[in-house]
Amino acid sequence: MTPDLYNYQAEKPFSQKDLVTLQDYSQDEIYQILGKALDLKQKHKAGIPHPYLSGKTLGMIFSKSSTRTRVSFDVGIYQLGGYAVVLNTGDIQLSRGETISDTAKVLSRYLDGIMIRTYKQQDVEELARYSSIPVINGLTDLFHPCQVLADLMTIYEKKNTLAGLKLAYIGDGNNMSHSLLIGCTKVGMHISAACPENYTPEPEIIEKARKNGMVTGAEVLVTQDPVEAIRDADVVYTDVWVSMGREEESAQRINQFATYQVNRELFSHAKHDAIFMHCLPAHRGEEVTSDIIDGPNSVVFDEAENRLHAQKAIMALLMADKDK
């Protein structure tokens, strides 16, 4: 049973230093983030100032281009009373061979937190290891934890629960599928993933999700059959077929994923009140048809908005002084 997250009372004080992957977080810590996000959203809508990070500075490292991550973190730290410094990798010494450990130690002397959006998960892990300040994973090829926290927040807003719901993921076994497998099973949501052969999620991540499910009661299904995956789903989720950095595989992927399009026929196998989600950007006519993503069941723009509030909660919990 999911508690009332609008009035969530933490079981333990929040003690995480970084957000590298949600696998590191307990259910209680995830609920604390979601509860904080819902509270900050209400304050923002009501025009109530919440400068929990007054005077703090967030460094944002970008190896991958971004719309939602860049704008939501930049606006979020500002609304929390702090400042953002954008650090494109071409503008800092990482691009000229400075080690991640040296970069981490130097930035720790200047900043109060770091958000990094990059390719290798190990780079985020190394940055967190050598930083004395919080490090937030803004996206890697393996995980996208900030997006999934925004997704869970959105699902809770629409369904008033998380535990016991079924989320069906249709498409590429990429960083979104990995983070959804971890995030859903941490909060007791069943998850089914339908992916073409050779495009399934990493086996070790599936195993971690199944172990999470043994604790929370969440069931995990990985299949090649999209109808099997989507049947009776409360939430239907998809992502682009060609992730950033894999553009050379575009023609091959579009051919192999053709039967995994979320269209009206496939969506009809979900529950009648199922919501449709997509982390964006979307390619209408490929992974999803316009009548689905722009239809009445779609919550993709609520989901995008909640990146702002979820990430503000992450920053507030990680970066604020403990007495705030």
The per-residue DSSP string of 144-177 comes to -HHHHHHHHHHHHHHHS--TT-EEEEES--SHHH
Count H helices and E strands in the chain, helices first: 12, 9
Question: What's the whole-number mean pLDDT along residues 133-144?
Answer: 97
**How far apart are alpha carbons 143 and 27 in whole angstroms?**
18
Question: What's the whole-number mean pLDDT along residues 223-251?
Answer: 89
Do 191 and 185 touch, CB atoms closer than 8 A? yes
Q: Which long-range contacts (CB under 8 A, 24 or more apart) does 159-163 make?
A: 159/234, 159/235, 159/275, 161/1, 161/2, 162/2, 162/187, 162/188, 162/189, 163/1, 163/2, 163/187, 163/188, 163/189, 163/216, 163/217
Do 104 and 127 touch, CB atoms closer than 8 A? yes
pLDDT at residue 89, as a whole number: 74
Q: Which of 87-96, 141-150, 279-288 has the lowest mean pLDDT?
A: 87-96
The secondary structure of residue 74, as a DSSP letter, is H
Q: State the pLDDT confidence band at 323, using cuts at 50, 70 and 90.
A: low
- Give kind and range of the element (H or E) at residue 197: none
Q: State the pLDDT confidence band at 279, using cuts at 50, 70 and 90.
A: very high
pLDDT at residue 174, as a whole number: 96
Q: What is the dihedral of CA 155, 318, 13, 81, to 10 degrees?
A: -90
Question: What's the whole-number mean pLDDT along residues 227-245?
Answer: 92
Indicate the pTM of the whole model: 0.96
Question: What's the whole-number mean pLDDT along residues 285-309?
Answer: 98
Q: State the pLDDT confidence band at 242, using cuts at 50, 70 and 90.
A: confident
- The encoded tokens of residue 90 equal 């071409």
In this structure, is the dihedral angle defined by the CA atoms of residues 281, 285, 286 and 292, taken in order, positive or negative? Answer: positive
pLDDT at residue 251, as a whole number: 84
Q: State the pLDDT confidence band at 244, using cuts at 50, 70 and 90.
A: low
pLDDT at residue 66, as a whole number: 87
pLDDT at residue 247, as a whole number: 73
Question: What's the whole-number mean pLDDT along residues 200-222?
Answer: 98
Q: What are the tens digits of pLDDT across the range 28-74?
A: 999 999 999 999 999 999 999 999 999 999 999 998 888 999 999 99
Q: What are the tens digits of pLDDT across the range 7-34?
A: 999 999 999 999 999 999 999 999 999 9
- In the chain, the percentage of residues whose pLDDT exceeds 90 is 89
- The encoded tokens of residue 29 equal 């810590």
- Scanning 160-288, the segments in alpha helix (DSSP H) are 175-186, 203-216, 226-230, 250-256, 264-267
Q: State the pLDDT confidence band at 90, using cuts at 50, 70 and 90.
A: confident
pLDDT at residue 221, as a whole number: 98
Question: What's the whole-number mean pLDDT along residues 153-179?
Answer: 98
The whole-angstrom distance between residue 257's C-alpha and the CA centroid of its chain comes to 23
- In the chain, the percentage of residues whose pLDDT exceeds 70 is 97
**CATH class (in words) of the domain with range 13-143+305-319:** alpha beta
Domain boundaries defined on the chain: 13-143+305-319, 145-303
Q: What is the dihedral of CA 180, 31, 302, 310, to 10 degrees?
A: -90
CA distances, 203 to each of 2, 172, 186 (Å): 28, 14, 17
CA distances, 311 to each of 75, 107, 319 (Å): 10, 21, 12
Q: What is the DSSP string of 11-53?
A: SS------BS-GGGS-HHHHHHHHHHHHHHHHHHHHT----TT
What does pLDDT average to over the chain? 95
Task: Give the CATH fold of the 145-303 domain.
Answer: Rossmann fold (3.40.50)
Using the predicted structure, report yes or no on whether residue 99 has a pLDDT greater than 70. yes
Using the predicted structure, report yes or no on whether residue 236 has a pLDDT greater than 90. yes
Q: Are strands 113-117 and 135-139 parallel, antiparallel or unpaired?
A: parallel
pLDDT at residue 96, as a whole number: 65
Using the predicted structure, report yes or no on whether residue 202 has a pLDDT greater than 70. yes
**How far apart are alpha carbons 228 and 28 in whole angstroms?**
32
Q: Residue 107: helix, strand or coil by DSSP?
A: helix
Using the predicted structure, report yes or no on whether residue 93 has a pLDDT greater than 80. no
- The encoded tokens of residue 100 equal 């991640």
Using the predicted structure, report yes or no on whether residue 324 has a pLDDT greater than 80. no
pLDDT at residue 92, as a whole number: 72
Q: Catalytic residue numbers? A: 117, 144, 147, 239, 279, 307
Of the CA atoms within 13 Å of residue 309, those in its CB half-sphere come to 23
